Amino acid sequence: MEYRVFEGTIVVRLNKGDRIAESLLAVAKAEKVTLASVSGIGATDDFEVGVFDLAAGDYERIRFEGNHEITALVGNLTTKDGAPYLHLHITCAGEGGRIVGGHLFEGRISLTAEIFLQKAKGRAERLRDEMLGINMIRFE
């Protein structure tokens, strides 16, 4: 992984084998980012997504392997318990153009990825909403 800071934007290049969430959290910690939007593209061969099951109150997790183009990686970076916290969604195109996606838990880069963190001033802290079963943004 390599990255550069350009005023309010951090441009991250992930390399083969890099973990998406792990890498972005490392950048956020190093650069003390507390609030940002995330967007990116690239390629992955191993990723886990989820779709929230309202009745069960938890994510149905699905793992995908094999060659996939990341057609959209979108989300935000906030904080939870004072530490950087990612909320990412991913859409990928696989064999035959089959599209899959959902809430990204983790993924490994198979070729490269280009991800932009658009920083904002301020902080949005996440707190657990036990009734909904998710970490919700709470504004200070």
Q: How confident is the model at residue 57 (pLDDT cuts 50, 70, 90)?
A: confident
Is 9 within 8 Å of 117 (Cβ atoms)?
Answer: yes
* Residue predicted with more confidence, 98 or 55: 98
- So what's the pLDDT on residue 5? 98
Question: What residues does each domain of the chain span?
Answer: 2-139
**Structure-token pair, residue 93:** 């195109």
Predicted TM-score (pTM) of this structure:
0.94
Task: Please name which of 91, 73, 86, 101 lies closest in space to residue 135, comparing C-alpha atoms.
Answer: 86
**CA separation for the pair 28, 79 (Å, rounded):** 10
**CA separation for the pair 98, 112 (Å, rounded):** 20
As a whole number, mean pLDDT of residues 13-40 equals 98
Residue 33 has pLDDT above 90, yes or no: yes
Task: Please name which of 108, 106, 98, 103 lies closest in space to residue 60, comparing C-alpha atoms.
Answer: 103
pLDDT tens per residue across span 82-115: 999 999 999 999 999 999 999 999 999 999 999 9
As a whole number, mean pLDDT of residues 11-30 equals 98
Which residue type is seen at 92?
A: C
Element (H, E) at 19: none
CATH no. of 2-139: 3.30.1330.80
Residue 133 has pLDDT above 90, yes or no: no
Q: What mean pLDDT is reported for the chain? A: 96
pLDDT tens per residue across span 41-50: 999 999 999 9
- So what's the pLDDT on residue 140? 61
Is 101 within 8 Å of 86 (Cβ atoms)?
Answer: no
Which residue type is seen at 40?
A: G
